[in-house]
Structures are given as structure tokens and as C-alpha cells.
């Protein structure tokens, strides 16, 4: 088989066979196909697209390009959750203890933040000593013992995706539905869970800015997951404004803890209840959403979800005292309000810009290896549709550097649009995509 022939076939609108796709991915992972040929292939796919069969074959080939996590040693149904990423998305930190407290095993692999979106691992490291660098054996033991473990990408999970993603990033071939779906699902399939609940974001802070594209991506991923024998469901949710109020690592952890005490922001709590319900149904613990919601509300009310977070933090080396006393989390030295420049209603919020404000303050990475400041960020006091009067606080800003604070404040004010007319609040849940829908 020659890569040249495969590129030409795709360039001319042909359909690649499963054998051709497996050959191409295996050879590229082993450095037997150069980046320039794979770049040409990515561009041909970008313009000519892939059939669903091709996308499934690409996903399976990428999933099998490295370690396939074997979770057989863990009892019960293992449920994973994945978000396509956004601003203020601390969902995993609150949701996974809620679901684990209801009896569904959480064996999850998470990543770090890059660019304007945060990552679960960075946020969890706000607990002093917390580590996701655990072995596969420890990981499985912990899930069996306490029902929840999160590990970093320490295994060689989907190395083909790692190489391809870096290549797509510099060849303008990231935003293709088949390529995104296969990239995400290859890692999920290799991570070994029996069921996968996806949170596909749409809006100005998301990868898929248009709702229609988010639904198409959701459908593609649900099909891939179910064809691979994993029960997969997707929730399409709003990312046209940050999720909840906190943006920044330790601040988001604090908000997740508040949510486990029943004191979280309404939108964030609702998203956890929705995703959690589908995780309980997929894990066989609830018959329907009504029953699942009741169970999730109960573990918040009786404190068992919060207790589960405490056990999880302790098991992975973090300071569990910070769960009960969030004052022990990293703290910024400068705390200031951002007053509204005029009366009105909050209109559009440029969500990505809010993520960038946190990045400017030091809360995100400019490059893969930069250190981050866990204590900085913002807590929003007004969101889309809310009224505000001149001088009232739009947000509190947490910083450790005056210059960075000034830069972030200026960008924040440009990202927050205040209008004279009241603006409709966005619907949080845009829809649910199942195999049958």
C-alpha cells in the first residue's frame, strides 16, 4: 500500500477502506509516513469529508495505536464523562463525586488546560499534594475501594491522535467533524469505560460555535461510541457564557465544593444534574431521569457527595481538609471588584475572552510546559439577562500581579456588553442525542 495512492484517492473524493485507514494510522504512528504526506491527507479529508464508516474505522485505528486500558478488574459498570471544553467548566469535580456517591463507578482519565479552556487535572491540583500520576493498578484498586479515581494521561493512550492533533493544529485542519469526533472518541474508547456521557458545548466559548455543528458532532460521536459497543449519549449544552460564576482553577474548585453542599450556581447545578442523570441511567443505577435526579439531590442533601470528594482527594494525596475548609485552597494577594460602567442589562458576553482574562492573570498555559497560578481568576456576579446599575460589581477579580490585573480588567470590560433592552437568558441544555434520536 502506498500513502501517495491513498492521498490521491481521498483528494478525488473516494472512500478509504478499513484496511487502508488502519495501514495509514499504524504507519504514521511508527513514523513510516512523513508529516507532509499526512498533512496532505488531512487537508483532503477536510475538503472531501469522510463517510460514517470511514470515521468509525479512523477512530478504531487511532484508539488501537497505543495502550487500550483494561478496566476488567473493576466491578460494575464503569461510566466515563467527557466535555468538549469551555470556560468555567468545573463539571467533573462536582459531578463525579455525586455520581460515585450514587453507586456508579467512575474511572476517568482527564487532561490539563490549554489555551482559554481549563483542565480538570490543573483544577484538582489546587488541593495541595493531589496527584493524578497514579499507576493503572492503583487506579483500579481505588475505583474498587471508593468508587472514584481520576488519572492523567500517563499511559500511551491513542498516540496516533497525539501526533495527528499536533499536525492538524498547524495545518488548519482542526475544525472538521470527522477529525474532531475520531480524535475525542479514540481517547475515550482506549480509556476503557463501558458507557460514555458526552457534554458537547456550543456558543462563543466553545469549539463548535454554531448549535447545528454541535449537534452534528454529538451525533457523530454517539454513533461511533455505540458502534464500538459502548453505551454513548451526548448532552449539547450552552457555552455562550461561562458555566457557573467562577473562572480560574482554585476558584472553580471552591464553586464545585459549594455545589456539593447545595449552594452552587443554578446553571452549573442543573448541568451536573442533567449529566449525572444520564450517567446513573447508563450505569444501571436509575431507570429514568426523574429517579436519577432524586438520587443526585439526596446525595447532596445528606452530605455523601461532599464526603466522596473528600475521600477521593485524600486517596490521591491531596489535602482533604480543604474540602471542608476551602480557605486552605490557594489564595490570590489582590482582590478587586470590576464595577459596571453604566446601567442596563447584560447582553452578549464574549465567553472566550473571559477565559483569556484568566489566562492573562496566570491561570492558564501559554505553552504546554508553562507553570500556572492556581489562585487567580474571576468570579462573575452578573450573567446574560441580568440587570445591573452603574457602579455595581460585574465580577471580582483575583490576581497576584497589578499589571496583569489591569490588562485582564480591560479585556473583561470589552467582553461584557451592557444593553438598554433586557436580553433573553440562554437555554442551558440545547438537547440530548442518543443512538435512537
DSSP symbol at 235: E
Is 183 a residue that touches ligand URA (CB under 6 A)?
Answer: yes
Residue 73 beta carbon to ligand URA: minimum distance, rounded to whole angstroms: 27
At what angle are helices 18-29 and 159-169 packed, to 10 degrees?
80
Specify the stretch interacting with ligand URA by CB under 6 A; choose among 50-58, 177-185, 279-287, 367-375.
177-185
**Marked catalytic residue, from 65, 182, 183, 277:** 183
Identify whether the C-beta of residue 61 lies closer than 8 Å to the C-beta of residue 29: no
In sequence order, which residues have a C-beta less than 8 Å from that of residue 57 and are 6 or more positions away?
A: 16, 17, 18, 21, 22
Listed ranges 43-51, 173-181, 246-254, 337-345: which one lies at the site for ligand URA (CB under 6 A)? 173-181
Q: What 3-state DSSP class applies to 246? A: strand
Give the nearer residue to ligand URA in terms of CB position, either 89 or 373.
Answer: 89
Q: Is 187 tagged catalytic?
A: yes
Annotated active-site residue 383? The verdict is no
Q: Does 184 bind ligand URA (CB under 6 A)?
A: yes
Contacts of 113 (CB under 8 A, 6+ apart): 119, 122, 364, 365, 372
Contacts of 162 (CB under 8 A, 6+ apart): none
Catalytic residue at 5?
no
Residue closer to ligand URA by CB (options 127, 207) is 207
According to DSSP, residue 127 is labeled S
Q: Let me know if 390 is exposed, middle or buried by CB neighbors in 10 A (0-12, 13-18, 19+).
A: exposed
CB of 161 to ligand URA, least distance (A): 7
Choosing from 98, 150, 180, 247, the residue that interacts with ligand URA (CB under 6 A) is: 180
**Set 78, 90, 112, 168: catalytic member:** 168
Q: Which is nearer to ligand URA, 109 or 246 (CB)?
A: 109
In the region spanning residues 126 to 165, those forming contacts with ligand URA, defined by CB under 6 A, are 165
Catalytic residue among 89, 122, 161, 199: 161
Query: C-alpha grid cell for residue 408?
Result: 485582564
Which residues would be at the binding site for ligand URA (CB under 6 A)? 165, 174, 179-180, 183-184, 207
The set of catalytic residues is: 82, 161, 168, 183, 187
Amino acid at each position: 500500500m502506498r500513502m501517495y495512492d491513498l492521498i490521491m484517492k481521498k483528494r478525488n473524493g473516494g472512500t478509504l477502506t478499513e484496511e487502508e485507514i488502519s495501514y495509514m494510522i499504524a504507519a504514521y504512528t511508527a513514523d513510516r509516513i512523513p508529516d507532509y504526506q499526512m498533512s496532505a491527507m488531512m487537508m483532503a479529508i477536510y475538503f472531501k469529508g469522510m463517510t460514517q464508516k470511514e470515521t468509525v474505522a479512523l477512530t478504531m485505528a487511532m484508539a488501537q495505536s497505543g495502550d487500550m486500558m483494561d478496566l476488567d478488574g473493576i466491578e460494575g459498570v464503569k461510566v466515563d464523562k467527557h466535555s468538549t471544553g469551555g470556560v468555567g467548566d468545573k463539571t467533573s469535580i462536582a459531578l463525579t463525586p455525586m455520581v460515585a456517591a450514587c453507586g456508579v463507578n467512575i474511572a476517568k482519565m482527564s487532561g490539563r488546560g490549554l489555551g482559554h479552556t481549563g483542565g480538570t487535572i490543573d483544577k484538582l491540583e489546587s488541593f495541595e499534594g493531589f496527584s493524578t500520576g497514579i499507576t493503572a493498578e492503583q487506579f483500579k484498586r481505588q475505583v474498587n475501594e471508593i468508587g472514584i479515581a481520576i488519572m492523567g494521561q500517563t499511559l500511551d493512550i491513542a498516540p496516533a491522535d497525539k501526533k495527528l492533533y499536533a499536525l492538524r493544529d498547524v495545518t488548519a485542519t482542526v475544525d472538521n467533524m470527522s477529525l474532531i469526533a475520531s480524535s475525542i472518541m479514540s481517547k475515550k474508547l482506549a480509556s476503557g469505560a463501558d458507557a460514555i456521557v458526552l457534554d458537547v458545548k456550543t456558543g462563543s466559548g466553545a469549539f463548535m460555535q454554531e448549535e447545528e455543528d454541535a449537534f452534528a458532532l454529538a451525533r457523530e460521536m454517539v454513533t461511533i461510541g455505540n458502534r464500538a459497543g459502548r453505551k454513548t449519549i451526548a448532552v449539547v449544552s450552552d457555552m455562550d457564557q461561562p458555566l457557573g460564576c467562577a473562572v480560574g482553577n482554585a476558584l472553580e474548585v471552591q464553586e464545585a465544593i459549594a455545589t456539593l453542599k447545595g449552594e452552587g450556581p443554578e446553571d452549573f447545578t442543573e448541568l451536573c444534574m442533567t449529566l449525572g442523570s444520564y450517567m446513573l441511567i447508563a450505569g444501571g443505577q436509575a431507570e429514568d431521569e426523574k429517579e436519577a435526579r432524586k438520587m443526585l439531590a439526596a446525595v447532596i442533601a445528606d452530605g455523601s457527595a461532599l464526603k466522596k470528594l473528600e475521600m477521593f482527594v485524600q486517596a490521591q494525596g491531596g489535602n482533604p481538609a480543604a474540602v471542608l475548609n476551602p480557605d486552605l485552597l490557594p489564595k490570590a494577594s489582590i482582590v478587586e471588584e470590576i464595577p459596571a460602567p453604566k446601567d442596563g442589562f447584560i447582553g452578549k458576553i464574549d465567553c472566550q475572552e473571559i477565559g483569556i482574562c484568566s489566562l492573562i492573570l496566570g491561570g492558564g498555559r501559554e505553552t504546554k510546559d508553562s507553570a500556572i497560578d492556581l489562585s487567580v481568576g474571576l468570579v462573575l456576579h452578573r450573567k446574560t439577562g441580568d440587570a445591573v446599575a452603574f457602579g455595581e460589581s460585574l465580577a471580582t477579580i483575583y490576581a497576584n500581579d497589578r499589571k496583569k490585573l489591569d490588562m485582564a480588567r480591560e479585556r473583561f470590560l470589552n467582553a461584557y456588553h451592557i444593553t438598554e433592552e433586557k436580553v433573553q437568558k440562554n437555554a442551558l441544555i440545547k438537547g440530548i442525542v442518543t443512538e435512537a434520536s
